[in-house]
């Protein structure tokens, strides 16, 4: 269940290189026609469910919002070229993490391992799982660059997250290829353009600690049982993202989560949505209200823009007029 959800909360190279280095199937395109039709109908009901680039205006204040994909993909450079003029025009750009906080985050991952790993004396994954489960998990995490001694101390929730990550995309990121968020954040830093993190850079990591260890372990076991190929899921979400069908991605992952997440799947999904999207969106709106700049750019994960509790709806409720912009200049 967690793997399905985290796929969605989750975009320099030509298409040939992408196809050669990472492969996967678009699972939505391969759904039986009646199921795909029902999925499309649900997605169509989501407010602001289609679109990556938006403009919110109220009086003299204008906020441009770009919904990002956190992994590298073939259109990363094209998106950079589309968004950079908007960043150059903005008085302030908000990221989930700006370049300075990305650097702080990376240092913290070395100096404060408790963000991702259990502390001394806490139960490790080999003791929480059966021998067969641990063998399965350690092999899958090894393929993602985590040796068993490191994987053993990983918090169950983060182990589930890593299972949801495409090994191929992880290798690309480890080789220095960043998603559009990171590319833009670094570009603004290099050009001395003003940027700010819209939340404390540790927020997303600490949110999942709201789940007790027992629940985290239950969700990890469900992740191990879930018969999903991470490369296929990454390709599926990427295709929907490029088509600007953000709600389609969300509804697809919701359906997968409810199908394979066990008896408490609906309750678990609702809590994840509240923690990872709804509560953060409300806090981000407070930051936007406090910002004194009149021209603002916001670059955050695309799922944060859509729906009744998304940033676009919250801005609309604050009296902003919302306009969808084209990703083609």
Q: What percentage of the chain exceeds 90 in pLDDT?
A: 51
pLDDT value of position 176: 66
The full length of the chain comes to 329
Please determine, for residue 208, whether its predicted confidence score (pLDDT) is greater than 80: no
pLDDT value of position 21: 54
Domain ranges in the chain are 2-111+155-325, 117-153
Residue in the structure block whose two tokens are 């833009």: 184
Cross-sheet strand order for the sheet of 53-58:
195-197, 92-95, 295-301, 61-68, 53-58, 321-325
Please determine, for residue 306, whether its predicted confidence score (pLDDT) is greater than 90: yes
Helix pair 180-190, 76-89: axis angle to 10 deg: 40
Of 306, 304, 284, 308, residue with least CA distance to 296? 284
Residue in the structure block whose two tokens are 């001395």: 192
pLDDT tens, position by position, 215-239: 888 888 877 777 678 788 888 888 9
Please determine, for residue 2, whether its predicted confidence score (pLDDT) is greater than 50: no
What is the DSSP pairing of strand 53-58 with strand 61-68? antiparallel
pLDDT band at 174 (very low <50, low <70, confident <90, very high): low
Please determine, for residue 8, whether its predicted confidence score (pLDDT) is greater than 70: no
Average pLDDT in the 168-185 region? 80
pLDDT value of position 163: 81
Q: What percentage of the chain exceeds 70 in pLDDT?
A: 90
| Cα(214)–Cα(248) distance, integer angstroms | 31
Q: Considering the chain, what is the average pLDDT of its residues?
A: 86
Residue predicted with more confidence, 144 or 188: 188
Model's pTM, two decimal places? 0.87
pLDDT value of position 19: 35
pLDDT value of position 112: 66
pLDDT band at 4 (very low <50, low <70, confident <90, very high): very low
pLDDT tens, position by position, 61-74: 999 999 999 888 88
pLDDT tens, position by position, 10-65: 432 223 233 345 778 899 999 999 999 999 999 999 999 999 999 999 999 999 99
Cβ neighbours of residue 91 closer than 8 Å, sequence gap 6 or more: 194, 293, 294, 295, 296
Comparing 9-13, 43-47, 144-148, 255-259, which segment has the lowest mean pLDDT? 9-13
Average pLDDT in the 145-151 region? 88
């Amino acid at each position: 269940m967690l793997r399905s959800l985290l796929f969605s909360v989750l975009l320099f190279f030509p298409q040939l290189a992408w196809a050669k280095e990472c492969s996967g199937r678009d699972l939505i395109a391969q759904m039986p026609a009646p199921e795909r039709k029902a999925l499309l109908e649900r997605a169509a009901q989501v407010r602001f469910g289609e679109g990556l680039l938006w403009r919110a205006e109220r009086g003299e204040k204008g906020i441009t919002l770009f919904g990002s994909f956190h992994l590298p993909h073939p259109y990363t450079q094209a998106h950079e070229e589309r968004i950079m003029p908007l960043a150059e025009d903005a008085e302030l750009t908000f990221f989930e993490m700006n370049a300075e906080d990305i650097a702080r985050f990376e240092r913290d991952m070395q100096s404060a391992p408790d963000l991702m790993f259990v502390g001394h004396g806490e139960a490790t994954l080999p003791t929480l799982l059966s021998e067969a489960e641990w063998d399965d998990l350690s092999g899958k995490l090894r393929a993602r660059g985590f040796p068993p001694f490191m994987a053993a101390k990983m918090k169950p929730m983060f182990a589930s997250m890593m299972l949801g990550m495409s090994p191929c995309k992880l290798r690309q990121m480890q080789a220095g290829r960043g998603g559009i968020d990171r590319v833009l954040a670094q570009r603004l830093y290099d050009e001395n353009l003003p940027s700010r993190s819209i939340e404390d850079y540790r927020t997303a990591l600490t949110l999942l600690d709201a789940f007790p260890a027992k629940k985290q372990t239950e969700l990890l076991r469900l992740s191990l049982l879930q018969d999903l190929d991470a490369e296929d899921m990454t390709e599926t979400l990427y295709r929907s993202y490029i088509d600007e069908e953000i709600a389609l991605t969300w509804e697809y992952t919701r359906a997968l989560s409810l199908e394979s997440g066990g008896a408490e799947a609906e309750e678990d999904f609702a809590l994840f949505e509240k923690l990872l999207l709804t509560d953060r969106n409300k806090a981000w709106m407070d930051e936007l209200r406090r910002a004194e700049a009149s021209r603002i750019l916001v670059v955050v994960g695309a799922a944060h823009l859509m729906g009744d509790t998304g940033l676009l709806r919250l801005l609309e409720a604050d009296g902003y007029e919302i306009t969808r912009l084209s990703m083609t200049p």
